[in-house]
């Protein structure tokens, strides 16, 4: 019974962080559209990937389903691999040689 | 056919989200209260760093400055959110997954930022202002 306001606080914090992370993910789209160079767009996509990782962990906290933490971990790995692939592609012209 | 009850279960679990979180936090005593407060503090820190990273991505003038903002601030933000997941779920299986996520973020984010900045420099993306690469400054 004493933990009831704390639980309400946790729900409010999770909801606020979800809304904030979603808004930040949307704002990163500006840099993808208007970025003057290709590395700008890669940086913006990497930031979107990190924000979506945070959203995954927040969804896991919100629904109490530990499955989404694994989803966030896999998204981290995919984001790193795609960043390295694009960074190699823009200077080498191909990825696997 | 087998997917339909699973999807219905997922939708029902999403619909009763505040109830489940409240039940899990109110299950035990003052330890649960401390855990909830630590989770909230880590979520606030993570949201702050995510905001700083995105503001730096939008406002800084150069791709290298933007990398400086996002690769540090966003990594700390996502790692704080992972740490909040570790505190909330406990040191069991899911908390271990969160720890692996933190370690992986701290290894891969500087590596990816370094590769992007190196490829940007090889592409010839100019620096902001009068900054020059050391080899070019000697010429």
Of B40, B74, B116, the CB nearest to A50: B74
| Shortest alpha-carbon distance between residue B19 and chain A (Å) | 9
Percent of chain B with pLDDT over 70: 76
- Residues of B in Cβ contact (< 8 Å) with A54: 46, 50, 77-78, 81
* Per-residue pLDDT, B93: 81
Question: SS3 sequence, chain B?
Answer: CCHHHHHHHHHHHHHCHHHHHHHHHCCCCHHHHHHHHHHHHHHHHHHHHHHHHHHHHHHCCCHHHHHHHHHHHHHHHHHHHHHHHHHHHCCCHHHHHHHHHHHHHHHHHHHHHHHHHHHHHHHCCCCCCCCCCHHHHHC
* Per-residue pLDDT, A1: 44
| Cα-only R_g, chain B | 21
Q: What is the mean pLDDT of chain A?
A: 87
- Residues of A in Cβ contact (< 8 Å) with B36: 3, 6-7, 9-10
Confidence of residue B137 (pLDDT cuts 50, 70, 90): low
Specify whether the CB–CB gap between B79 and B120 falls below 8 A: no
Tell me which DSSP letter residue A94 carries.
-
* Per-residue pLDDT, B82: 92
| Shortest alpha-carbon distance between residue A33 and chain B (Å) | 12
Taking an 8 Å cut-off on Cβ atoms, the answer to whether A83 and B116 are in contact is yes
Token pair 């370690």: residue? B103
Checking if the pLDDT of A11 tops 60, the result is yes
- In this prediction the ipTM stands at 0.86
Taking an 8 Å cut-off on Cβ atoms, the answer to whether A87 and B24 are in contact is no
């Amino acid at each position: 019974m004493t933990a009831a306001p704390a639980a309400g606080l946790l729900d409010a914090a999770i909801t606020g962080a979800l809304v904030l992370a979603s808004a930040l993910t949307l704002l990163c789209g500006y840099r993808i559209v208007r970025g003057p160079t290709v590395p700008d767009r890669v940086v913006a996509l990497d930031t979107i990937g990190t924000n979506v990782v945070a959203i995954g962990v927040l969804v896991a906290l919100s629904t109490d389903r530990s499955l989404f933490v694994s989803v966030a971990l896999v998204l981290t790995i995919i984001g790193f691999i795609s960043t390295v692939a694009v960074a190699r592609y823009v200077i080498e012209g191909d990825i696997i040689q | 056919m087998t997917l339909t009850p699973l999807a219905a279960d997922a939708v029902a679990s999403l619909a009763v989200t505040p109830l489940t979180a409240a039940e899990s936090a109110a299950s035990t005593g003052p330890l649960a209260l401390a855990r909830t407060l630590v989770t909230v503090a880590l979520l606030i820190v993570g949201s702050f760093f995510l905001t700083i990273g995105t503001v730096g991505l939008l406002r800084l003038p150069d791709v290298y400055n933007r990398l400086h903002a996002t690769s540090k601030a966003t990594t700390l933000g996502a790692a704080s959110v992972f740490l909040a997941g570790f505190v909330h779920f406990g040191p069991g299986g899911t908390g271990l997954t969160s720890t692996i996520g933190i370690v992986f973020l701290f290894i891969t984010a500087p590596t990816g930022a370094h590769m992007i900045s190196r490829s940007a420099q090889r592409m010839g993306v100019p620096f902001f202002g009068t900054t020059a690469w050391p080899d070019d400054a000697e010429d």
